[in-house]
């Protein structure tokens, strides 16, 4: 009789533990990237009242009998974490990240590395990429010129450190002219009138922008288009650019006149690349900067035609830019973090690395959506994998939702409650039987 009572007590205990797990699952139904847990029971060893016997070997003898055992209750066998991926919730915040597939973000605090699926990241005052609770997000750093990633043991990512706050200016070394030059717009080369104006813009090494004009005129004596020099040169305020000697830079005659010749099909032929030489007028007054490569800017005319159609011309700045300040970030599916700058440039700032485990369900929860390694999870190799490999990737602007299924949890709650009630009835019934035994003395 006492056995049945203690069996009922064990049933109450395990069903109470299961209800605790269910309650925690439901409480975290809206927790970012929460992983629900499931409970399994196992029976306690059974007491053997009578052992099994085999059948008699002679004809007409008794047959075999099964063992007679009385169970001694129930144990909590396991509480397992369900690592199934949760649904996506759109946030449009570029630093909110969701892992597609397997893997964990690697984060760090003073106690060491931890792992999480919750990608609600922010930037702190020191420029570090951090979780909502302040742990630093780890990954790989960019190389010195921000063109590639150095895949080494992970370290905290500082994506807004001083050297990333802005991009330096770059001087212009190349210009490209494109368009169509109709002969009827060629002007008079000998008289220096008419012609096709070409507007060119370029940057010096400090990021100052200059705009100049030169004119292409057709010379009928040798059937070539010719450009003698730079007619005007203005700064960003629209004022004439002055050389260090005090005189205006333009008009400026080129040391080598630019000449363009076209074949019978209207395509440019012969020399198509010339240098606009500034060496004789640099530095500009008040601007201690350089222009171009060895003080000259190369101009390419490969994409100019001479057809009988409307004249058009456009000068493209192949390189060169002013300085820019960072205006935002983007995170690619491969985890690479790119900074966007006010001058239209971009810079690779780092890459998020993912940790993968042989048995992710073997990780231990430590609060704040964090996990740590255990003896049964497998070990993190310290480097991680690039998102997009091994079945994992990253989505920016979305978060992973909890994988708790409310309908399942409510069903489990009902069956657990009934199991608890049934076990309490065992204790009540056993108590009543014991009461009857006591009353026999009367």
Dump pLDDT digits (tens) for 267-280.
Answer: 999 999 999 999 99
Residue with the bigger pLDDT between 324 and 45: it is 324
Cis (ω within 30 of 0) for the bond into 174? Answer: no
Residue with the bigger pLDDT between 441 and 111: it is 111
Cis (ω within 30 of 0) for the bond into 183? Answer: no
Please state, in angstroms and rounded to a whole number, the distance separating the CA atoms of residues 118 and 361.
16
- 54 confidence band (pLDDT: 50, 70, 90): confident
Cα–Cα distance list, 366 to 204, 372, 375, 436 (Å): 55, 7, 15, 51
**pTM of the entire structure?**
0.76
Percent of the chain scoring above 70 in pLDDT: 98
For residue 225, pLDDT over 90 is answered with: yes
What is the number of alpha carbons within 13 Å of residue 379 lying toward its C-beta? 3
- 295 confidence band (pLDDT: 50, 70, 90): very high
Residue with the bigger pLDDT between 176 and 288: it is 176
Cα–Cα distance list, 92 to 347, 392, 399 (Å): 21, 21, 10
For residue 20, pLDDT over 90 is answered with: yes
Tokens of 335: 């985890």
| Domain chopping of the chain, boundaries | 1-41+71-87+401-442, 93-164+331-399, 174-317
Please report, to the nearest 10 degrees, the dihedral formed by the alpha carbons of residues 10, 15, 17, 23 taken in order. -170
- Between vectors from CA 180 to CA 314 and to CA 313, what angle results, nearest 5°? 15
Average pLDDT, the chain: 92
What pLDDT, on a 0 to 100 scale, did the predictor assign at position 136? 97
- 442 confidence band (pLDDT: 50, 70, 90): low
Its CATH architecture, for the domain 174-317, is: Sandwich (2.60)
The model's pLDDT over 79-118, given as tens digits with 9 standing for 90+, comes to 999 999 999 999 999 999 999 999 999 999 999 999 999 9
What pLDDT, on a 0 to 100 scale, did the predictor assign at position 3? 65
For residue 19, pLDDT over 60 is answered with: yes
């Amino acid at each position: 009789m006492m056995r049945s009572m203690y069996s009922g007590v064990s049933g109450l205990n395990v069903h109470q533990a299961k209800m605790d797990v269910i309650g925690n699952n439901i409480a975290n139904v809206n927790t970012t990237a929460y992983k629900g847990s499931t409970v399994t029971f196992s029976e306690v060893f059974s007491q053997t009242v009578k052992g099994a016997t085999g059948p008699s070997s002679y004809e007409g003898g008794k047959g075999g009998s099964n063992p007679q055992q009385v169970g001694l209750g129930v144990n909590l066998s396991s509480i397992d974490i369900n690592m199934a991926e949760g649904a996506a919730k759109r946030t449009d915040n570029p630093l909110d990240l969701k892992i597609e597939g397997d893997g964990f973000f690697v984060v760090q605090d003073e106690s060491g590395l931890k792992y999480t699926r919750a990608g609600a990241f922010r930037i702190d005052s020191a420029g570090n990429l951090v979780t909502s609770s302040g742990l630093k997000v780890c990954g790989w750093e960019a190389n010195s010129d921000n063109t590639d990633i150095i895949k080494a043991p992970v370290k905290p990512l500082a994506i807004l450190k001083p050297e990333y706050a802005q991009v330096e200016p770059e001087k212009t070394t190349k210009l490209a002219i494109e368009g169509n030059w109709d002969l009827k717009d060629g002007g008079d080369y000998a008289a220096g009138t008419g012609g096709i104006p070409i507007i060119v813009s370029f940057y010096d090494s400090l990021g100052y922008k200059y705009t100049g004009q030169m004119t292409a005129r057709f010379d009928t004596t040798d059937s070539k288009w010719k450009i003698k020099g730079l007619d005007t040169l203005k700064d960003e305020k629209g004022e004439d650019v002055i050389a260090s000697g005090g005189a205006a830079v333009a008009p400026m005659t080129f040391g080598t006149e630019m000449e363009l010749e076209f074949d019978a099909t209207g395509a440019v032929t012969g020399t198509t690349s010339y240098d606009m030489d500034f060496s004789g007028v640099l530095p500009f007054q008040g601007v201690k900067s350089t222009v171009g490569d060895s003080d000259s800017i190369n101009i390419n005319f490969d994409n100019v035609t001479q057809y009988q159609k409307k004249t058009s011309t456009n000068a493209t700045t192949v390189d060169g830019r002013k300085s820019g300040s960072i205006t935002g970030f983007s995170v690619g599916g491969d985890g690479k973090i790119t900074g966007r700058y006010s001058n239209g440039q971009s810079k690779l700032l780092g890459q998020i690395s993912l940790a993968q485990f042989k048995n992710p369900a073997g990780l231990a929860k430590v609060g704040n959506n964090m996990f740590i390694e255990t003896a049964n999870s497998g070990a993190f190799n310290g480097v991680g994998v690039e998102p997009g490999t091994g079945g994992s990737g990253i989505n920016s602007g979305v978060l992973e939702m909890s994988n708790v299924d409310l309908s399942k949890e409510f069903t489990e709650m009902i069956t657990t409650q009934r199991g608890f009630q049934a076990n309490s009835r065992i204790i009540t019934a056993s108590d009543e039987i014991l009461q009857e035994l006591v009353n026999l003395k009367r």
